[in-house]
Structure 1
């Protein structure tokens, strides 16, 4: 599965439907995976959420229509799928910095977001240490929060969940349950279907989960384990980007589509790991 080709196919589909319905089901069909998984890969490779990219493209075309006087602003809003003037005004202003009415002025300064076109990259300018391991199924226990299929919402939900768990000392309570590999606190993104998406703050354990915690089993798999240190948020994003753009296209593996696992230390060190499931092509 060449993710660069798949992303370009989906981008072409989006481009053909910017003024009509963009179907989650059709994107899943083109990408051969769930809409949720596709959004994750899209954001890792492009640095944009899928929703943000679609909005930027729609507002670029809407600005052209407004400046060419292609109709009333309310009609242009409906053309690009906005059911109310308020939602269209908010989206337009978030992209261009001005309300739609002011875009009619020929001197208005507007932003243009062109269609994306992706290609393979061979960088090699920065080493990332990794290993490939086979691991039997294992159980994780911890707390969880429900996620949305909308990745933009999840980018807010997950950091707030971490803050809450840290502030109520839940992380320290997990230590006593971590009696299995991998060692450390786990951030696990678990997708079963569109109604069952959770993010777990957990540990790997053979112990029985107490009543105030949840447990799930991670299936047997081959994992590529990236090791890194430094700023967690920036480094994690960089690892996923390098995996999909630079490592996976030239390997003999495919993305395994199991939960991605981030392993953080209990101590104050900056060393951490990212576990990504892979399988033979």
Structure 2
């Protein structure tokens, strides 16, 4: 398996498991690389660390869910593996420039939401 296939397969795995706990060892194992080597090639290919990629993708999916459903913010935050609503709100605000409640009311203020 070449590195492009490894990255593609790992991204598919991450995207299919955003609502589950994902460890670097799990992802690296799926593409038969050590976690250290996998992390290096992932960062080189995507420009972000595995953890940053996972966090961003989870926030993107959470943002879609905020707009498309009436699910409680705390339930969305827990679904996407944030330890608390507060940690979710902090990360969400950092990415989108607005807290989840405000974003839900006016999603057009979100930066890059529908790009994913």
* TM-score between both structures, scaled by the size of structure 1: 0.38
Q: 1:70 to 1:20 in 2, by over 3 A?
A: farther
Structure 1 residues 28 and 107, CA, compared in 2 at 3 Å: closer, same or farther? closer
Corresponding residue for 1:100? Answer: 100
1:69–1:104 Cα contact (<8 Å) kept: no
Question: Alignment partner of 2:20: what SS?
Answer: coil
Q: What RMSD over aligned residues (CA atoms) do the two structures have, in Å?
A: 1.6
Structure showing greater Rg: 1
**Preserved contact between residue 102 and residue 108 of structure 1 (Cα < 8 Å):** no
Q: What is the CA-CA distance between 1:26 and the residue it aligns to?
A: 2.0
CA distance in 1 between counterparts of 2:49 and 2:77 reads: 22
TM-score of the superposed pair, with normalisation by structure 2: 0.88
Q: Is the 8 A contact 2:92 2:98 kept in 1?
A: yes
Distance in 1 between the 2:94 and 2:38 partners?
A: 24
Q: Count matched residues.
A: 114
* Larger proportion of strand: 1
Gaps of 5+ in 2: none
1:62–1:76: 8 Å Cα contact kept in structure 2? yes
**1:231-252: CA deviations, max 9, x gaps?**
xxxxxxxxxxxxxxxxxxxxxx
Distance of 1:70 and 1:42 partners within structure 2: 35
Structure 1 stretches of 4+ moved >6 Å = none
Q: Matches of 1:6 and 1:102 in 2, distance apart? A: 38
